[in-house]
Chains A and B, each alone.
Chain A
Amino acid sequence: MKDESLPPETELVERLRNNDVALFERVVKTYHSSMYAVAHAIAGPAIADEVLQEAWISAINALDKFEGRSALKSWLIRIVANEAKTRLRKESRSISLDTVDEHWATDSRFTPNGHWVESNPGWDMSSPDELLAADELQDCVKKHMNKLPENQQQILNLRDVGGLEMEAICNILGVTASNARVLLHRARDKMQQVVARFQRTGKC
């Protein structure tokens, strides 16, 4: 479901404060995925559901305090990010760029002098809506997202799926802006290849 299907923000918040359960359900269905992506990236998959549950409860309780200075989605994302940070995963969070650099060095899409080996077929005439409506493609994207190296997956989830600003992401993950950009682009490039292959061959 897209944001466009929800009423304008002021009306939305007013109705949520007035116990509009049907609208609340639409809000959950619209924003849950982005919120989960943030919880998953910061706190890890094992407790992401728990974090999200807590975040929704905090949000429902704080609805009266929502002043509309930011969009509702940004507000929800901030709540889930804060909740997740308090439950920050314990394991090592070191970010290594070695594998990324290695990948570019041996990228089989290019000749040794950096030209494309084969023409990159055009699927760009498919609109984002068409891509989103193709369930098999979306399943394939999700499958490959889960296969990304963890640090790339974290940043892709925080930035593109969750919609967090880069500055906030760098603070949360403790990485420099340039490292974050490299990791994010590597993940996006991989996803572009997944979509391109699917559009070309119909295979995941």
Chain B
Amino acid sequence: MATQHSRSAARLMMGPAVVLLLGWMLVPLLMTLYFSFKSYLPLRGGDLGWIGFDNYVRFVTSSAFWPSVSATLIIVGGVLLITVVLGVLLAILLDQPMWGQGIVRILVIAPFFVMPTVSALVWKNMFMDPVNGLFAHLWKFFGAQPVEWLSDASLFSIVLIVSWQWLPFATLILLTAIQSLDSEQLEAAEMDGAPPPKRFVFIILPHLGRAITIVVLIQTIFLLSIFAEIFVTTGGAFGSRTLTYLIFQRVLESQNVGLGSAGGVYAIILANIVALFLMRIVGKNLDA
């Protein structure tokens, strides 16, 4: 509802944001597509011509591909599982009456604000170092042999670090969702004779359904592209090379831009599949 005048003003004012984002999306995307069909090695001859779908085939048939897919799935799946399950429990705990709720909330949220490079380094050195790390001290205290976390259990270690970073996010969103639950619903269920476990399963959990879906989707998008945590801890070694990191290595370390670009196109397609689901949910919410 507005006038022609304000509608044209609106179009004009939306212009800069739309044009910038359109450029930001299209230009690199088209360039990536272009490179992905070329043999392009900047340090070894540069542009060596069109090679069709060779890069796409080579990327998926290389020995590093399937391990990187499984590493990605383990990291994303593991972090999602840990953050959602612990997040729900923590959110319910934080929703209980207690003293100092605000402070506990702050303590729980804090890791989310820690720079990824900082958290990765702190965990790598001060906790997971097999000689001087706190875990090593702890293991020795109980007479056990300290674990070489980042080489012997690299994926587990990365999942642990990343879960620590994302647990606050899941908790915060689930807590917000729990708090929006109408307490009369719970009281009605109580009047109807539902014991606490049943109230959790039949009322709280369904109410959290949407929030959990959102947490899963948003985290998936971010987790698919985690980079710094791997960059500073293992550098992709010891089986911790994810799809993102593999592409990064192809492009910058081995300077095979064509191959890396093909990988990039795969990553873009993958992210878009996840994004599609997220959009559905957010879009529905827009109508409300």
Say whether A and B bind each other: no
Spell out A's residues near B (CB within 8 Å).
Answer: none
